[in-house]
Amino acid sequence: MTQQKTLEICERIARLKQERDAVILAHYYVDPAVQAAADYVGDSFYLAKLAVSLPQQVIVLCGVEFMGESVKLLNPAKTVLLPEPLADCPMAHMVERATVEAARAEYGDDLAVACYVNSTVEIKSWSDVCVTSSNAVKIVSELPQRHVLFIPDRNLGRYVAEQVPGKHIILNKGYCPRHEDVSLDELLALKAEHPHAEVLAHPECTAAVLEQASYIGATSGIIARAEASEAEEFIVVTVRGVLHELERRCPGKRFFFTKTPPTCRDMDMVTLEKVAACLETGSGEVAVDAAAAPQAKLTLDRMLEYAAR
Ligand code: 13P
Ligand code: SF4
């Protein structure tokens, strides 16, 4: 898109925001042009928490479906718009009800079902508490139950289990295809090329990749670490969209990605034109299943409560 065209769309978005009493939230993984046009940019926990305190009536969520659903669950009276409603995180569906029921039958009241926020409304409604990658360790360690079924992500679940050895964590088979596909060979080659670079990785990566990291954390943690570190060079093992905020917050520092950089095709579906279009027409309005919503909301409320302790 030409600079002139980008400018025109941004002006249109600014005008529509005023007319519709709208605010734009974007995840760090979406197109840099969308991040630049947003009022707030952050990780999935920040966006969910922030949405509760915003005065505007319309919230445009530039991210994937579960993020829009979380905002809607927490703000049922507001209109939540997804610029691209088909942008859906594949991991959000990767658990079966039978897995949850079997764990509940086996461990009874001494089991908590901890659900990564990357999950559908229905899956949240089977659960006890939600977590994100930035608060999962804290929340799981504070749960009163000794047994924790962690759904859907096996990689974040395994990472939490390592950090909270006092709990018995039961893993499920879900995973993020983008983070699982990171090649260990490509990472090792990059480390050999940049031996002084710090390796910052997202906990959705495999154990073999995380073993190579000097820092493991959510997207917000990765950015904060790069900002605070004395190092000048970083190998970043998460979706490439995060580079926009890294460069903005860390001028002069250098960031490297594996030869096949992780990209999220669902996040990539969110474009500036679609942001303008949903503001114009009100398309992409999020509706959550009325039967599942109350229990799903409770899991998010509990997350916010635990995280604030
Ligand atoms: P964050 O919680 O770190 O923003 O991650 C969201 C996500 O989808 C990671 O793949
Ligand atoms: Fe889902 Fe992975 Fe994309 Fe995050 S990066 S939204 S976990 S597919």
User: What pLDDT, on a 0 to 100 scale, did the predictor assign at position 29?
Assistant: 98
Number of the ligand closest to the Cα of 89: 2
Is 239 close to ligand 2, i.e. is its CB under 6 Å away?
Answer: yes
pLDDT-derived band at 209 (thresholds 50, 70, 90) equals very high
Interval 73-130: pLDDT, tens: 999 999 999 999 999 999 999 999 999 999 999 999 999 999 999 999 999 999 999 9
Q: Is the whole model's pTM more than 0.85, yes or no?
A: yes
Q: Ligand 2, atom 3: nearest CA belongs to which residue?
A: 264
Q: Which fold has domain 3-88+268-281?
A: Rossmann fold (3.40.50)
pLDDT-derived band at 214 (thresholds 50, 70, 90) equals very high
Give mean pLDDT, residues 282-296: 98
Among the CATH numbers 3.30.200.100, 3.30.70.100, 3.40.50.10800, 3.40.190.10, which is that of 91-175+290-308? 3.40.50.10800
User: What pLDDT, on a 0 to 100 scale, did the predictor assign at position 21?
Assistant: 98
What is the CATH superfamily name and number for domain 182-261? NadA-like (3.40.50.10800)
User: What average pLDDT is seen over the chain?
Assistant: 97
Number of the ligand closest to the Cα of 269: 2
Is 94 close to ligand 2, i.e. is its CB under 6 Å away?
Answer: no
* CATH 3.40.50.10800-classified regions of the chain: 3-88+268-281, 91-175+290-308, 182-261
Is 178 close to ligand 2, i.e. is its CB under 6 Å away?
Answer: yes
Is 64 close to ligand 2, i.e. is its CB under 6 Å away?
Answer: yes
pLDDT-derived band at 1 (thresholds 50, 70, 90) equals confident
Q: Ligand 2, atom 5: nearest CA belongs to which residue?
A: 264
pLDDT-derived band at 2 (thresholds 50, 70, 90) equals confident
Answer whether residue 177 shows pLDDT above 90. Answer: yes
Question: For residue 142, what are the contacts with CB-CB under 8 A and spacing of at least 6?
Answer: 306, 309
Interval 26-57: pLDDT, tens: 999 999 999 999 999 999 999 999 989 999 99
The residue type of 202 is H
Q: How far is the CA of 259 from the centre of ligand 2 (A)?
A: 19
List the one residue out of 122, 123, 126, 98 whose CA is nearest residue 112.
126
